Amino acid sequence: MMSDNRITIASGNEAARLALVESQLETLFEVSRVLSRSLDLRQTLRELLGVLHDRERLGRGLVSLLDEERGELLISALHGSDVEPFETVSYRPGEGVIGRILERNSPWVLPRVGDEPSFLGRLNLYDRALPFIGVPIRLGEEGAVGVFAAQPEAGDGLLDQRARFLEMVANLIGQAVRLARGVEAEQRALREERDTLRREVRGAHGFDSIIGRADAMRLVFDQVRQVAKWNTTVLIRGESGTGKELIANAIHYNSPRARAPFIKLNCAALPDNLLESELFGHEKGAFTGAVSQRKGRFEQADGGTLFLDEIGEITPAFQAKLLRVLQEGEFERVGGNRTLRVDVRVIAATNRDLEAEVRAGEFREDLYYRLNVMPIRMPPLRERIEDVPELARFLVEKVARMQGRELRITDSALRLLLCHDWPGNVRELENCMERAAVMSADGVIDRDVIELTGLDVGSASQAEAALAGRAPPKVDLDDPNLDERERVIAALEEAGWVQAKAARLLNMTPRQIAYRIQTLNIKVRQF
């Protein structure tokens, strides 16, 4: 009779175990679904603990993860009734039941948690009369990085089975933690790269990147600093090659819109029909070749800045279309009938006399006043000739990076550059420096190399330069850093290329300076 009872009890336990296994398999499937829904680890873990409570009667679930900086276990998710705030609760490795599970890196099953002396009860959550199961959370073969714990409703003789189930769930949690940390690391790296790029862009397009010490350029800098703070439309005026685009860059990257797009368009490069499509976009099928919808520059620049270079080149027919978007901030794509609204700051630039074109009826007066809210005039290089030496050195360094070699420009070359009017402005100076670098075999750009570039300086004698208010600066002939050739050239320039006078400046005889000119291969200028 007793054997029959034992068989019945054994059969009952086996049935309960099988039922538990079947339930756990279904729960594991649901757990895997929960973990795959979102990359928000905290929210996912809270949902997972809810599933275990509802389906497996594993209440008061807890997930704690190791904070590498603090070296402590911090609670990431908790499930239970009347739970106290847990943000300040932490465990050091080896501290309490939770800390010892982490330190040992092995599961711990307590038939009655209140009987364990190391149980701390900091959360004021667990029923001391019930069992407690805690298992480590591992990342592959690495050590434990956290602890997953729960409390069954009662001891039913299947605690070991439930502990193995919690280990399986902990392995899934470990994979989710690995994925979340990997994504977080990638996002952190992307943010750092983004911030680095922003700093580089801001540095490349900030005021430090624009060379100019002349009073005219200082006025430009003051205007840019003020106008950058606001959303005012800016019209940059100046001759071709004066650096109008650099000023537009500086305005955008020093404005509150610096993190938004900065879109550029040269209005002179396109006819009206293409310019309209380029600025406003087009719908699919709007014209032959429009195989898909396309956003225009205004849409691309939404929230940021649109730079319209050569604005004076657009035709009167297109000026009316541009005026509407500048006034109302709205437009339609080509071939579309839906009105789009954008928030775009417009910076325009031109080298044309718009006032004369307005009087001639070639440029709309209302568009002119819409653009000319804040005019900034870029001075031509001839009006800030004192900036030429610094600009030339900067451009030589730029060419050196392009050619992958060291280049140096001498003082005599710089003094020669001061004698040119630079009708092509900075662009002409840049071309001159690139030609000079090509012509320099040893990487030294001196006055002879400058003359080989074809630069016209014959008409700008010292007297003419002085009359223009820009005589070449005097050089300290006793400067120990000045080499012999440069010293002789400087003396000749100061003496107006009169050899006898230059000899006196150098405390030489005319024969000695003639010998120096010959041996140093100095080309004597004739006036």
- Name every residue whose Cβ is closer than 8 Å to that of residue 439 and which is 6 or more positions away in sequence: 449, 452, 453
When the pLDDT of each residue in the chain is averaged and rounded to a whole number, the result is 83
Q: HSE (CB half, 13 Å, CA atoms) of 158? A: 22
Do residues 248 and 349 make contact, with C-beta atoms less than 8 angstroms apart?
Answer: yes
Q: Is the pLDDT of residue 348 over 90?
A: yes
The pLDDT tens digits of the residues spanning 59-89 come to 888 888 888 778 888 888 888 755 455 667 8
Tell me which residue of 478, 498, 476, 502 sits closest to 488, measured CA to CA: 502
Range with the largest mean pLDDT of 48-62, 329-343, 463-477? 329-343
Q: What is the mean pLDDT of residues 422-446?
A: 92
3-state secondary structure of 250: helix
The pLDDT of residue 429 is: 94
pLDDT over 90 percentage in the chain: 28
- CATH 3.90.1150.10 assigned to 474-527: no
Cα separation, 183 vs 201, in Å, equals 26
- Amino acid identity at 416: L
Residue bearing tokens 């599961």: 107
Q: What is the mean pLDDT of residues 27-37?
A: 80
Strands 374-377 and 305-309: unpaired
The pLDDT tens digits of the residues spanning 462-486 come to 434 433 444 455 666 777 767 787 7
pLDDT band at 186 (very low <50, low <70, confident <90, very high): confident
Q: Which CATH superfamily is domain 210-379 in?
A: P-loop containing nucleotide triphosphate hydrolases (3.40.50.300)
Of the candidate ranges 173-182, 211-220, 481-490, the one whose mean pLDDT is the lowest: 481-490
Cα separation, 430 vs 386, in Å, equals 16
State residue 521 phi and psi, 5-degree precision: 55, 50
Q: What is the mean pLDDT of residues 340-349?
A: 94
**Structure-block tokens of residue 35:** 């973990």
Of the candidate ranges 216-220, 255-259, 474-478, the one whose mean pLDDT is the lowest: 474-478
The pLDDT of residue 465 is: 46
Q: What is the mean pLDDT of residues 300-321?
A: 92
The CATH number, out of the four listed (3.30.413.10, 3.30.450.40, 3.10.180.10, 3.30.530.20), of the domain defined by the range 2-183? 3.30.450.40
The pLDDT tens digits of the residues spanning 383-394 come to 999 899 999 999
The pLDDT of residue 474 is: 63
Considering only CA atoms, give the Rg of the chain.
Answer: 39
Cα separation, 452 vs 448, in Å, equals 6
Which residue ranges does the chain devote to CATH 3.30.450.40?
A: 2-183
Geometric angle at alpha carbon 359, from 358 and 362, rounded to 5°: 50
- Name every residue whose Cβ is closer than 8 Å to that of residue 424 and which is 6 or more positions away in sequence: 240, 241, 431
The pLDDT of residue 266 is: 92
Q: Is the pLDDT of residue 195 over 80?
A: no
More confident site: 181 or 80: 181
Strands 144-152 and 132-138: antiparallel
Q: What is the mean pLDDT of residues 296-302?
A: 92
More confident site: 524 or 466: 524
Q: Is the pLDDT of residue 165 over 50?
A: yes
Q: Is the pLDDT of residue 303 over 90?
A: yes
Which residues are registered as beta bridge partners of 263? Answer: 306
The CATH number, out of the four listed (3.90.1150.10, 1.10.8.60, 1.10.10.60, 3.40.309.10), of the domain defined by the range 382-472? 1.10.8.60
Q: What is the mean pLDDT of residues 491-517?
A: 79
Which residue ranges does the chain devote to CATH 3.40.50.300?
A: 210-379
State residue 513 phi and psi, 5-degree precision: -70, -30
Which residue ranges does the chain devote to CATH 1.10.8.60?
A: 382-472
Q: Is the pLDDT of residue 231 over 70?
A: yes
pLDDT over 70 percentage in the chain: 88
Q: How many CB atoms lie within 10 A of CB 421?
A: 16
Q: What is the mean pLDDT of residues 152-171?
A: 82
Which residue ranges does the chain devote to CATH 1.10.10.60?
A: 474-527
The pTM score is 0.60
